[in-house]
Amino acid sequence: MNKVTSSKGFKVLITTVCILLVLVLITAGNSTVGGIVTGYILNPLQRVASDFTGSAKETITPPKTVEELEKENSELQEENRRLNDMLVEYYDLKKENDEFYKFYNIKKNNEDFSVIPSTVISRDPNENFYGFILDKGSADGVDINDPVLTDNGLVGYVCELSVKSCKVTSIISPAAQVGAIDKKTGDQGVVTGSPEYSDSGTAVMKNISAQNTMKSGDILVTSGYGGMYPKNIKIGTISKLDYDSYTGMPIVVVKPFEDIRNITSAAIITNFSGKGDIEILEESGNNKENSKKTTESD
């Protein structure tokens, strides 16, 4: 410490400070030391503090009243409801657009079809064969026995009708009788439902020849015979060949292309080429003659 105070640099510093103090006293005239301190040191500091305080006051927003907060909360809730409504409407439009796109493909591939897009609105819990209710009825041009499809294939037909809705019997119901053809082999039969298979969402094909050459994986389509269903509509694939447990006759188990148990929308076909045309096989001697009988559809 003695070395620092006795150093030349320290002495020069002390001398400079003393000279500055003398100058300040001379400049101040008769002012007291307290006045000097106040004028030259405290006042500038007070000005700085005042400027800072004023700036802080301008920055800080006064707290909102309870009424203002309640009004703001109500406005935010209303805006949130409006946005939720817009979101729901968007999802509805998107779903409708997706469904129309699927049904557009049905129409595009079958120009003779009159197609009514529809949505599944309910299912009967007591229905063992997965029938369902659609949101279209007689007011929309729907009629009894109109076939019902999805973009994956045939799913059933209209069995009951009201003004604004209709009930559909599925192809896995024993009430369904769909003429079908194996696209690969040409073997024919009738696709229908069976209590033995319906819980797994499958149907069976009966009335087939014992000499059939069908195999697992073959594709079945509608034959068009009978005039109830359009021709060449996909039904499903053969999952296995079997025998009827009651008659012992050969059958094939059919897995529909559409999962009947989980359908949410479908297309009702109200008109198509060949609707109501019934093909009858008449035997004359040893020859079989094909003839067509046209009936008016309801």
CA distances (Å), 287 to each of 207, 208, 282, 291, in order?
22, 21, 9, 13
Residue 88 lies in a domain: no
Whether residue 128 sits in one domain with residue 183: yes
Whether residue 184 sits in one domain with residue 41: no
Please report which confidence band the pLDDT of residue 28 belongs to, taking 50, 70 and 90 as the band edges. low
What is the residue whose two structure tokens read 């620092």? 4
Of 45-59, 72-86, 136-150, where does the model show the most confidence?
A: 136-150
Range of the domain at 159: 97-281+290-294
Say which DSSP state 194 is in: -
| pTM across the whole model | 0.64
Rounded percentage of the chain residues whose pLDDT exceeds 70: 69
User: What does the angle CA 274 – CA 278 – CA 282 come to, to the nearest 5 degrees?
Assistant: 140
Residue 235 to residue 221: CA distance in whole angstroms = 5
Count the alpha carbons within 13 Å of 263 in the hemisphere toward its beta carbon.
Answer: 35
Q: How big is the chain, counted in residues?
A: 298
| CATH code of 269's domain | 2.40.10.340
Q: Return all residues near 131 (Cβ < 8 A) that are at least 6 apart.
A: 123, 124, 156, 159, 167, 168, 169, 170, 173
Please count the structural domains in the chain: 2
Residue 178 lies in a domain: yes
- 282, β-bridge pairs: 289
Q: Which residue has the higher pLDDT, 280 or 234?
A: 234
> What's the pLDDT score for residue 44?
59
Residue 67 lies in a domain: no
**Using CB atoms within 10 A of its CB, is residue 36 exposed (0-12), middle (13-18) or buried (19+)?**
middle
Whether residue 123 sits in one domain with residue 47: no
The mean pLDDT value for 79-92 works out to 82
